[in-house]
A = this chain, B = another copy of it.
Amino acid sequence: MQTPTLRDVAKAAGVHAATASRALNPQTRRLVNAETARRVLRVAESLGYQPNPIARGLKTAKSRTIGLVIPDLMNPLFPPIVRGIEDVLGSAGYSAFIVNTDNDPDREESQVGSLLSRHVEGLIVATASLEHPLLMRLHAQGVKMVLVNRRTDGLDVPSITPDDTAGIGLAVKHLAGLGHRRIIHLAGPQTTSTGVARSRAFQMVLREHGLDDRSPLVVACEYWSEAEGARVLREVLDWGTEFSAVVAGNDLIALGCYDVFAERGISCPADISVVGFNNMPFLDKMRPPLTTVAVPHHQIGREAARMLLESIEEPDRPPRSVLLPPSLVTRASTAPPREAS
């Protein structure tokens, strides 16, 4: 006679195999109705069921969870990425543990340690800086990783990012088409690939269009935030810099500009046009609705989850970098400059 399996126990107890499994594991027993759990345990004992140590070993090795490392959950850019990741993981029977590092390297290190000690099978990392010793070390130690949104220089792991160069091209072309000649860029932090790629693209595209490229042309923010966008725009205005349009490093920086416009009685778009980057939720309801470069964040999340699952299943597959094409969403924050109208 064969040794009884989990399936045999489940059948004899009249429950699903998943329920029997939960009832037999002391960690998860509490999820099962107490009476059902007692019945399953009784049946398991009467059949002489022994948990298969090899199957249990596999079970431990395959935790079917992954860790998701987010720099700032308050940035509305991340929830759609999380949603995309979870959609793909869910259909593959995986789930995600999310940690929020608040852009703090110490916190990131302790939270990643916490994830690894809980046997996640891999990480999806949205915190990448251009230089990122922790990620380099994790990669060297064989931790499976996919980067989303941002990349790290010299780190040979798959990444899914927006095509930042193409996105800035769309923004500048739109403003040039409206007649703007003097455009500035409020760039994101130059410690991040998105900050650097967007500001490099800006300078390049400006010259391609033969636009005014006298300094100051690009002024970098230290954070991707409204408050920092406002701080930097105030500074640029205080220098007496003249310009009729702003390409902001992201939507939050653009919304910081709105605050300064309100403070100083500047009309947008009549006095200054603004273009954002990301197309975060609710921009269509802003005053004025913000013209922005739309990034397919849900798709970025989906692709990242797919790539991580692939690299778990086929560890030898070489890493790829995927750029997703952005598109321009024209709303009411951009218009021809006063001189040209």
Q: List A residues at the B interface (Cβ < 8 Å).
A: 22, 25, 27-31, 33-34, 65, 73-74, 76, 79-80, 82-83, 86, 90, 95-100, 102, 107, 109-114, 116-119, 134, 137-138, 140-143, 255, 258, 281-282, 285-289
- Report the nearest B residue to A138, measured CB to CB: B30
Are the CB atoms of A99 and B97 closer together than 8 Å?
A: yes
Taken together as a complex, chains A and B put the C-alpha atoms of A156 and B178 apart, in Å, by 62
Stoichiometry (number of copies): 2
Contacts of A74 in B (CB 8 A): 79-80, 83, 281
Contacts of A107 in B (CB 8 A): 90
**Which among B82, B116, B134 is the interface contact of A27 at CB below 8 angstroms?**
B116
| Apart from the given pairs A31-B113, A97-B118, 11 other A-B contacts in the complex at a CB distance below 8 Å | A27-B119, A30-B116, A30-B142, A31-B112, A33-B137, A73-B83, A97-B98, A97-B99, A282-B282, A286-B286, A287-B288
Contacts of A288 in B (CB 8 A): 287
Are the CB atoms of B79 and A28 closer together than 8 Å?
A: no
Taken together as a complex, chains A and B put the C-alpha atoms of A326 and B309 apart, in Å, by 44
Q: Give the shortest distance, in Å, between A103 (CB) and chain B (any CB).
A: 12
Taken together as a complex, chains A and B put the C-alpha atoms of A134 and B123 apart, in Å, by 29
Q: Give the shortest distance, in Å, between A108 (CB) and chain B (any CB).
A: 11
Are the CB atoms of B285 and A255 closer together than 8 Å?
A: yes
Q: Give the shortest distance, in Å, between A306 (CB) and chain B (any CB).
A: 18
Known: A140-B34, A287-B288. A22 touches B80 (CB 8 A): no
Are the CB atoms of A113 and B22 closer together than 8 Å?
A: yes
Taken together as a complex, chains A and B put the C-alpha atoms of A281 and B227 apart, in Å, by 13
Selected A-B contacts with CB under 8 Å, 8 pairs: A29-B141, A30-B141, A31-B116, A31-B134, A31-B137, A73-B83, A76-B76, A287-B289
- Report the nearest B residue to A75, measured CB to CB: B79
Contacts of A79 in B (CB 8 A): 73-74, 79
